[in-house]
Amino acid sequence: MAHFKPELLEQLIEVRGASGNEENIRDFILDYIEKNKKSWKSEVTIHSGEGFQDAIVLIFGKPKTAVFAHIDTIGFTTAYDFNLIKIGGPKTIDGMKLVGSDSQGEIETELMIIEDDEGHKSLKYVFDREIDRGTDLTFKPNFNLTEQYVQTPYLDNRLGVLNALTIAEDLENGAIVFSTYEEHGGGSVGFLGRFLYDKYNVHQALISDITWVTEGVQHGGGVAISMRDKAVPRKSFLNRIIAIAKENDIQFQLEVESAGGSDGSMLQDTDLPFDWCFIGAPEDNVHSPTEKVFLSDIEAMMELYGVLMKELN
Amino acid sequence: MAHFKPELLEQLIEVRGASGNEENIRDFILDYIEKNKKSWKSEVTIHSGEGFQDAIVLIFGKPKTAVFAHIDTIGFTTAYDFNLIKIGGPKTIDGMKLVGSDSQGEIETELMIIEDDEGHKSLKYVFDREIDRGTDLTFKPNFNLTEQYVQTPYLDNRLGVLNALTIAEDLENGAIVFSTYEEHGGGSVGFLGRFLYDKYNVHQALISDITWVTEGVQHGGGVAISMRDKAVPRKSFLNRIIAIAKENDIQFQLEVESAGGSDGSMLQDTDLPFDWCFIGAPEDNVHSPTEKVFLSDIEAMMELYGVLMKELN
Amino acid sequence: MAHFKPELLEQLIEVRGASGNEENIRDFILDYIEKNKKSWKSEVTIHSGEGFQDAIVLIFGKPKTAVFAHIDTIGFTTAYDFNLIKIGGPKTIDGMKLVGSDSQGEIETELMIIEDDEGHKSLKYVFDREIDRGTDLTFKPNFNLTEQYVQTPYLDNRLGVLNALTIAEDLENGAIVFSTYEEHGGGSVGFLGRFLYDKYNVHQALISDITWVTEGVQHGGGVAISMRDKAVPRKSFLNRIIAIAKENDIQFQLEVESAGGSDGSMLQDTDLPFDWCFIGAPEDNVHSPTEKVFLSDIEAMMELYGVLMKELN
């Protein structure tokens, strides 16, 4: 049985990859797969490169269901006059540390929130020179592991990626998709879904991503199965997943939210008949540098994915 | 000539089917088709099941044009602590009756609107126990028929479905699509359109749905042909439809709105070159339990669809 | 080397074509191509008509990259009681001149902005009779050319169309797409991209459109290469384009914005792995009848497209 690998998680978090700029994290994952696939239970076929942008698809055996884990992160783009523009929806906290690199080298800077007389806020970076226009800045890694939880930027979605890489070890039949652009309007799930559907007739998806601690979903309560967010997954697929979780005595929590989206809602917007379900551990301090997830919820997440990928494939 | 069937309409309204949960209404329609198709003028090919989610496609002869009628309804999802989350955009009226079922059985409950000190409203259900998380609740059926009009929940879009089932009786060439998810962000029109386009080269669509009584579109004025809502259909297709309506002396009204969407706007968002036009009777009290449509407008709607499906196929 | 043709620009601006109603401008462009293609360097294959709505695709040699130029414009639809509804996002200025035609003939009218007691604005047209419902009105052409700049309605995007027609003269390999519906929610880029991808394996796009003069992008500063707007193009494709612009000593400016969209963001929303980049001259008085672009920026735009279509094909 596969387990949580904090070292690999820390490495994944070190690699930068804001939406639209996933080349490095793509290469890291491809390299990891090359080095580790010989120890995996089944043979894997790897699809990447031309026609896949910076995304990756792994195929094991005869797949019926795909795990989608997005490899991009939130961040900021540098604009004119020390301004910053958001990539996705990062929280902004005065003084938060950001890193990146441009034509002049490595950058470590801080975010500054400036409010004018009418209360309009603008985001600036504090640096002794102007950074090249269009440079990506991301949260500075800061990895904290205790016996109970892990706290660091980008658990969303390095943890979803870790989950996908972990279930790859034992997978006999199934697909794993490392998608891009999830945090910023989407853009890869369409062609990835199309590839899976046309080539393998796959039209079931599990969204390996991180959700929110809320009134109804709490730390230590197990992996969250989302019954809906802004989008509504198909009830019959949801019921099958919940039944499998129950039969296998996995600790889970049912989530019901009115807002939020994921690769699941993007799949629903495609011209493809995909059933999908978001399944992930809940985190606190969402989209901030101090995202926090309980280890027991990560274990439950991995356990549920292991079982589902057996029974749905 | 096919006519309005109030009994079938009442039966369609009795069957629950909030967006994402269209299995029962799908089965009802499939069952109706099985029982009635032998009396139809032409042979029908039925596509449903795997690859169609809970949608249905009917093919008659050599189709060039498809009628889209969505089979889902608006409603609510039960969340934590007696809260309700909207499915689509239902009107909310204190005390309105909602029905559903969960693991403990049938439910009849009432909506309560709670306003806090700052004016924020939350929606709750009034019940002697918590309903299972993620349970769908829909308006309690309440069917009223007079000589002039019909008034009941879910004329939108059981009436559009009835229209589609009615024109099926005489159809020689054409497609009929029973789509899902229309009320909540869409999700089936893409793959349904793709199926029609790839397999039958169909790329014209008539949206069989219900619109609003407004300043420019009134009860008893005939079926509304929408020249635009939020989306703008292609003018040349629109002009053809209006010309056919005129030539055939059908009572119609031209609608021009700035807001609203339908399976038509969803089709426009696909990767398919579909021309589409929304054509439907106007209703009052939209998205409430007292939706009201005049019978003469229903007859005009059926008449126009009958003529259009002849001339556009 | 191809150069700016003000006469052709003026002709393009005379032809009406609000989103959804691009038949006339489509016919004008097809006619222009027929008359001029024999003087072009390479042979062209023209795709239009059934399955293309009012869009056009030109194929030269073996294309790897497509230029997208939208042929629709912003405007207004006439509604009930002298009201106007926007098509796309036109600026509204009291007294601005609008033109169109309906069943009773040619129309020249003026926009009137009416504000009620609560500050709600409505848009009306001033005319001695009601115009047919659903009639399109567009800005009255008013072409002004100086030695430094051109100022007229609809530089966005008749200038992008002119650019595309101009680079066609020397193009050996590449695709040119005249798209529709860009100003109003999109709708043709999906099937056009699908056609290019399926039939020619094209998955790179340059968006030939007009952008905004801002703090960071100015008149006379050269063609703008957009590093992002609301959408974020793929960094690796962007970097290639910037490198080519530098190597060829073309005057360009880097744009970084938080808002705005184009055929590029529409392509990103498709189920296709398209890389795209928005490249266009900047204009002042965006979406008004007095759009203004500097001639040197138009020349830089044409020069950059010429170079890019060589090196990316």
Q: How much is the pLDDT for C287? A: 98
Residue B3: pLDDT band (50, 70, 90) is confident
Count Cβ atoms below 10 Å from residue B177 Cβ, excluding itself.
29
Token pair belonging to A51:
């026609």
Q: How many CB pairs under 8 A join B and C?
A: 79
Residues B183 and B89 sit within 8 Å (Cβ to Cβ): yes
The answer to whether A23 faces chain C, any CB pair under 8 Å, is yes
Taking domain A76-139, whether its CATH number is 1.20.1560.10 is answered by no
Radius of gyration (C-alpha) of chain C in whole angstroms: 19
Token pair belonging to A256:
């019901």
Residue with tokens 């009255």: C140
* Chain A partners (3+ C-beta pairs within 8 A): B, C
Kindly name the residue from C10, C22, C130, C182 that is annotated as catalytic.
C182
Q: Do C203 and A23 touch (CB under 8 A)?
A: no
Which strands sit side by side in the sheet containing C275-280, from one edge to the other? C44-47, C56-60, C174-179, C65-70, C204-208, C275-280, C223-228, C252-256
Q: Do A234 and B85 touch (CB under 8 A)?
A: no
How confident is the prediction along chain A (313 residues), in pLDDT tens digits per residue? 568 999 999 999 999 999 999 999 999 999 999 999 999 999 999 999 999 999 999 999 999 999 999 999 999 999 999 999 999 999 999 999 999 999 999 999 999 999 988 889 999 999 999 999 999 999 999 999 999 999 999 999 999 999 999 999 999 999 999 999 999 999 999 999 999 999 999 999 999 999 999 999 999 999 999 999 999 999 999 999 999 999 999 999 999 999 999 999 999 999 999 999 999 999 999 999 999 999 999 999 999 999 999 999 9
C19-43 average pLDDT score: 98
* Average of per-residue pLDDT values in chain B: 97
Count Cβ atoms below 10 Å from residue A67 Cβ, excluding itself.
25
Residues A16 and A99 sit within 8 Å (Cβ to Cβ): yes
Alpha carbon of B136: minimum distance to chain A alpha carbons (Å): 10
Q: Is C203 annotated as a binding residue?
A: no
Helix runs in B248-292, H state only: 263-268
Residue C119: pLDDT band (50, 70, 90) is confident
Q: How much is the pLDDT for A119? A: 87
Residues B214 and C83 sit within 8 Å (Cβ to Cβ): no
CA dist B211 and B291 (Å) reads 11
CA dist C191 and C199 (Å) reads 12
The answer to whether C109 faces chain A, any CB pair under 8 Å, is no
Q: How much is the pLDDT for C2? A: 65
Nearest alpha-carbon partner for C96 in C130, C160, C45, C140 = C140
C19-46 average pLDDT score: 98
CA dist A313 and A65 (Å) reads 6
Q: Do B258 and C52 touch (CB under 8 A)?
A: no
Residues B232 and C184 sit within 8 Å (Cβ to Cβ): yes
Residues A167, A169, A174: CA angle, nearest 5 degrees: 60
Alpha carbon of C33: minimum distance to chain A alpha carbons (Å): 32
Q: Could you please report the per-residue DSSP string of C63-74?
A: -SEEEEEE--B-
Residues A65 and A73 sit within 8 Å (Cβ to Cβ): no
Residues paired with B102 in a beta bridge: B105
Residues A305 and A67 sit within 8 Å (Cβ to Cβ): yes
Tell me the longest C-alpha to C-alpha distance in chain A.
62
Domains B6-73+143-311 and B76-139 fall in the same CATH topology:
no
CA dist C8 and C143 (Å) reads 12
Q: How much is the pLDDT for A280? A: 98
Nearest alpha-carbon partner for C284 in C151, C164, C169 = C151
Q: How much is the pLDDT for B218? A: 97
CA dist C36 and C168 (Å) reads 10
Helices (H) and strands (E) in chain A — how many of each? 7, 19
Closest residue, chain B, to C266 (C-alpha): B269
Q: Which fold does the domain B6-73+143-311 belong to in CATH?
A: Aminopeptidase (3.40.630)
The answer to whether B187 faces chain C, any CB pair under 8 Å, is no
CA dist A133 and A83 (Å) reads 10
Q: How much is the pLDDT for A3? A: 85
Residues paired with B177 in a beta bridge: B57, B68
Burial (0-12, 13-18, 19+ Cβ within 10 Å), C132: middle
The answer to whether C23 faces chain B, any CB pair under 8 Å, is yes
Q: Is B249 annotated as a binding residue?
A: no
Whether pLDDT at B86 is above 60: yes
* Domain boundary assignment for chain C: 6-73+143-311, 76-139
- List, for residues C51-93, the tens digit of each pLDDT value: 999 999 999 999 999 999 999 999 999 999 999 999 999 999 9
Token pair belonging to B13:
């309204």
Whether pLDDT at B1 is above 70: no
Is C147 catalytic? The answer is no
Q: Do C79 and B265 touch (CB under 8 A)?
A: no
Q: Do C78 and B257 touch (CB under 8 A)?
A: no
Nearest to B133 among A234, A254, A265 (CB): A254
Q: pTM of the full predicted structure?
A: 0.96
Burial (0-12, 13-18, 19+ Cβ within 10 Å), B264: buried
Q: Is C183 annotated as a binding residue?
A: yes
CA dist B91 and B288 (Å) reads 5
Residue C1: pLDDT band (50, 70, 90) is low
Q: Could you please report the per-residue DSSP string of B156-212?
A: HHHHHHHHHHHHTTT-SSEEEEEE--GGGT--SHHHHHHHHHHHH---EEEEE--EE
* Average of per-residue pLDDT values in chain C: 97
The answer to whether C103 faces chain A, any CB pair under 8 Å, is no
Helices (H) and strands (E) in chain C — how many of each? 7, 19
Nearest to C271 among A51, A77, A191 (CB): A191
Closest residue, chain C, to B216 (C-alpha): C80
Q: Is B156 annotated as a binding residue?
A: yes
Residue B78: pLDDT band (50, 70, 90) is very high
Residue type, A99: V
Residues C218 and C252 sit within 8 Å (Cβ to Cβ): no
Closest residue, chain B, to C21 (C-alpha): B235
Residue in B22, B23, B53 to test binding to A, most A beta-carbons within 10 Å:
B53
Whether pLDDT at B285 is above 60: yes
Residues A183 and A72 sit within 8 Å (Cβ to Cβ): yes
Residue B2: pLDDT band (50, 70, 90) is low
Alpha carbon of B143: minimum distance to chain C alpha carbons (Å): 33
B265-277 average pLDDT score: 96
